[in-house]
Amino acid sequence: MERKKILINKANPILFGHNAYKQLNNLIIQKSYSKILIFSDFETTKYCLPVLESKIKSTIELTETHNYSINSGEINKNLDSAKIIWQFLIEKGFKRNSLIINLGGGMITDLGGFIASAYMRGVDFVNIPTSLLGMVDASIGGKTGIDLKNIKNIIGSFYFPEITVIDTHYLDTLPIKQFKCGLSEIIKHSLIEGKNDWNRLKVLKNIKELNEDIIYTSIKTKVRIVEQDPKEKNIRKFLNFGHTIGHAIESFLLNTDREVLHGEAVAAGIIMESYLSRSICNFDEKKVNEIKNFIDNHFDKIIIKSEEIHEIIKIMSFDKKNKDDTPKFVLMRKIGMIEIDKNVSEKDIVKAIEFYSY
């Protein structure tokens, strides 16, 4: 595993395990940073910071290093949090030759990356994702951002970390519900990549069997796609598979007392959009059932009442990725053969939601 390294944009390496910390130490020494900020939330401060400190202790002892922790949760991925950190950086005299180390899930890497991209027109940062979703998705690909006026990621930038450190030991303390959020993105990546990845994943009986090799492969898929289409003009849209309906379900349930996490809604969306792939692109019915069985085995079923279906479809028409009011779907012809911008009738969407539900 130490040999594994993925390069993004011919620089910005994503590094694994012990070698990753070695490179992080080297980076800090070579760049002679004047100050370092380790940015985390209270959870990752408690569970992950002691590990990180033990890995870079002797290096950061030589540099003025601060830790700033904020409350966890998407609700804090906002301008207020960014402002508090920028003020802290100013008060502590952080100059351009500073480093921000983001230690946390996607909330922290998105927010910390954004803070780094704008402070003094850009300072170096390092991502150390501690959630599964952060490792395979959020920390990869250079998108940073914050939410504003209830719109997710509406303010942001493309800005790449110096390095990204993948240490799967952090996952030992990640709550199982959060772990599943990452699993749904791994399922998506495997279906995009091809049958080898999916065949390896679908036999997992217990998701805790999910190993570093699967995480490595999943990251490679995201990197391959991002590199070919960084600004989401064509194939980066593949990554929206499962998200058109998934996102609408997530938004709909936000206004109810039924809590659902993003990744849980995406897992449901993957079943529904696999069903639509059957109707629209002739995707193999056996595979649809295989995907449904796997997801049903690992995720709780989200209850969708029949009278709610039309509300969910209405939300899809407002998706910010649509060109007009018609939702465009990403569907599969085969595993590994993805098609974008597909039109789907309302009748078919209803059938897909019913297929998932019953």
Ligand X SMILES: NC(=O)c1ccc[n+]([C@@H]2O[C@H](COP(=O)([O-])OP(=O)(O)OC[C@H]3O[C@@H](n4cnc5c(N)ncnc54)[C@H](O)[C@@H]3O)[C@@H](O)[C@H]2O)c1
Using CB under 6 A, list all residues that contact ligand X.
Answer: 41, 43-44, 47-48, 72-74, 77, 104-108, 110, 130-131, 133-134, 137-138, 141, 143, 152-153, 170, 173-174, 178, 181
Quote the tokens at residue 186.
């791994």
Closer residue to ligand X (CB): 117 or 279: 117
Cβ distance to ligand X smaller for residue 131 or 279 = 131
Judged by beta carbon, residue 128 or residue 201, the one nearer ligand X is 128
Nearest distance in Å: CB 298, ligand X: 16
Which one, 319 or 346, has the nearer CB to ligand X?
319
The three-state secondary structure class of 105 is coil
- HSE-up of 323 (CA within 13 Å, CB side)? 6
* Backbone dihedral angles phi then psi of residue 33, each to the nearest 5 degrees: -60, 140
Name the phi and psi angles at 110, rounded to 5: -65, -50
Residue 331, strand partner residues: 339
Q: How far is the CB of 196 from ligand X (least distance, A)?
A: 24
What minimum distance in Å lies between the beta carbon of 351 and ligand X?
A: 29
Report d(CA 72, CA 40) in Å as an integer.
Answer: 9
8, 153, 338 from 341: Cα distances, Å:
27, 22, 10
Q: How far is the CB of 305 from ligand X (least distance, A)?
A: 27
- The tally of CA atoms less than 13 A away on the side-chain side of residue 46 is 7
Q: Judged by CB, which is closer to ligand X: 180, or 287?
A: 180
Which of 44, 117 has the CB closer to ligand X?
44
DSSP labels, 121-162: G--EEEEEE-SHHIIIIITSSSEEEEEETTEEEEEEEE---S
Report how far apart, in Å, the C-alpha atoms of 216 and of each of 38, 223, 331 are. Answer: 25, 11, 24
Alpha carbon distance 301, 264 (integer Å): 9
Helix crossing, 176-193 with 212-228: angle to 10°? Answer: 60
Nearer to ligand X, 98 or 184 (CB): 184
Q: What are phi and psi of 4, to 5 degrees?
A: -75, 135
Which residue, 116 or 288, is less far from ligand X as judged by CB? Answer: 116
Query: Nearest approach, Cβ of 106 to ligand X (angstroms)?
Result: 2
Cβ-proximal residue to ligand X, closest one: 106
DSSP H helices in the chain: 17-31, 42-47, 49-60, 79-91, 106-118, 132-133, 176-193, 195-202, 212-228, 243-254, 262-281, 285-298, 309-317, 346-357
Q: How far is the CB of 354 from ligand X (least distance, A)?
A: 28
**For ligand X, the closer CB: 62 or 154:** 154
In the complex, the smallest distance separating the C-beta of residue 348 from ligand X, rounded to whole angstroms, is 27
Task: In whole angstroms, give the CA distance from residue 8 to residue 18.
Answer: 20
Euclidean distance between CA atoms 7 and 135, whole angstroms:
15
Q: How far is the CB of 264 from ligand X (least distance, A)?
A: 11
